[in-house]
Copies of this chain bind each other. A is one copy, B any other.
Amino acid sequence: MYTSDVACEVRKKAEMAKRAARALRNLSRDTKDAALRAMAQALEDNENAILESNSIDMANGEKKGLGDALLDRLKLNHARIMAMAEGLRELANLEDPVGTVSELTRRPNGLLVGKMRVPLGVIGFVFESRPNVTADTSGLCIKSGNAIIMRGGSEAYNSNRILTKLLADAAVSCGIPQGAIQLVESTDREGVRALATSDDLIDLMIVRGGEQLVRAVSEYATVPLIKHGKGLCHVYLDKDADVAKAVEIAFNAKVDRPGVCNAMETLLVHKDIAQACLPQLVARLCESGVELVGCPRTVDLLKDHCDIKLANDSDWDAEYLALKLSIKIVDSYEEAVDHICSYGSGHTEAIVTENHSLAMQFLDDVDASVVLVNASTRFNDGFQLGLGAELGISTQKLHARGPMGLKELTCEKFVVLGQGQVREA
């Protein structure tokens, strides 16, 4: 079944990871935190070697003609290495999620029943371009008691390799079992498949990457999968919105960082507030270089204020991830919610309104990983929401929904404390 060299590499590493996971499960917080600090130190101590490896990847990337955005994501420098180290030290300061037992409930027959939080076991992690992800995810997995096998993109091969070696060696020197942090060296697609079909060894696959990659993996994966999918996020400016807040929130949601999944892609505006909000908002958006498309009413209202084109049907379905925005004027709250239910990707949805009942209604009506009232969609982020760490944003409903922190890398098993109880027929 596993004939290729790549698949053999993956299977061997997964077997090592499974052995490591058994030992990791019972490590004390002290051991794990010491390892995290040693991992941070190892990155700082080896900055030159890291930068050297990274420069090979950068040179290869330039030769291959990677775009500026991609090259920027690939690049490491002093500040980024320090940020990785700092992130690991912050993880050491977080509570250990493992080992707590929720309230033990007494059953009529005297049994005490509770749930104990435990690591998942072995996590397969597929990601693209940014090599600093190796430090973040290794740290999150060690802290939560899981073994990790990473598979990065080919463009970051040399950077990922040295980072993983430094992190793994530092961890092992502090008592973390060998095999707890590993990288699949081959960047062949076959490696992803081998990971995603090793359900006898791997407990969870996390795939961060383009829609096509995620789709492909979900089709052949037998390991349970958490997807980091598309973010088609809306902001709805209700007729009872405070105009100043509405403009600030819409502007921030679009412009703060347009290339990420929690940026707004479509703005919905109640007809009664369009005149008060839109001209001043689009003036600021245009200043920031945002390209605008709109429904006929929007175009009609704004055509003298700015350069705006009529939206196509495909615009309402588009995750631009760029300085582009589609705007639609709606007749009612219900029309806005219908639009969100039809086109939203279940990622992040916001309403701006001073009407309390309607705000509460919106929380019930809209099904997304994060639903906000009077706040920017940009707050869908593990650090911003107070998780203390983030492994990505899950766009599915099972197990983890929204930003994933340490807790989402664990599960709960039932523990039952008895005094000789047997089940009566």
Contact = CB atoms under 8 A, between A and B. Distances in A.
Contact of A105 (B99, B113, B386): B386
Contacts of A249: 420, 422
A225 B221 CA distance: 11
Contacts of A339: none
B375 A111 contact: yes
Contacts of A371: 116, 413-416
B379 A423 contact: yes
Contact of A375 (B222, B226, B399, B421): B421
Contacts of A40: none
Contacts of A376: 421-423
Given A367-B413, A379-B423, A422-B256, A107 B398 contact: no
Interface centre among A107, A413, A415, by most B CB within 10 Å? A413
Interface string A224-247: 111000000000000000101100
A414 B373 contact: no
B399 A414 contact: no
Interface string A367-396: 111111111101110001110000000001
Contacts of A374: 417-421
A416 B372 contact: yes
Given A107-B384, A120-B397, A252 B423 contact: yes
Given A373-B417, A375-B418, A121 B367 contact: yes
Contact of A113 (B225, B253, B385): B385
Interface of A: 22, 25-26, 99, 105, 107, 111, 113, 116, 118, 120-121, 199, 203-204, 218-220, 222, 224-226, 242, 244-245, 248-249, 251-253, 256, 341, 359, 363-365, 367-376, 378-380, 384-386, 396-399, 401-403, 411-423, 425
Given A224-B397, A256-B423, A375-B416, 16 more contacts: A22-B367, A118-B367, A203-B397, A218-B222, A219-B220, A226-B398, A248-B420, A252-B422, A367-B413, A372-B416, A372-B418, A373-B416, A374-B417, A398-B399, A398-B411, A401-B412
8 contacts: A99-B364, A204-B398, A224-B224, A224-B225, A374-B421, A380-B414, A399-B399, A401-B412
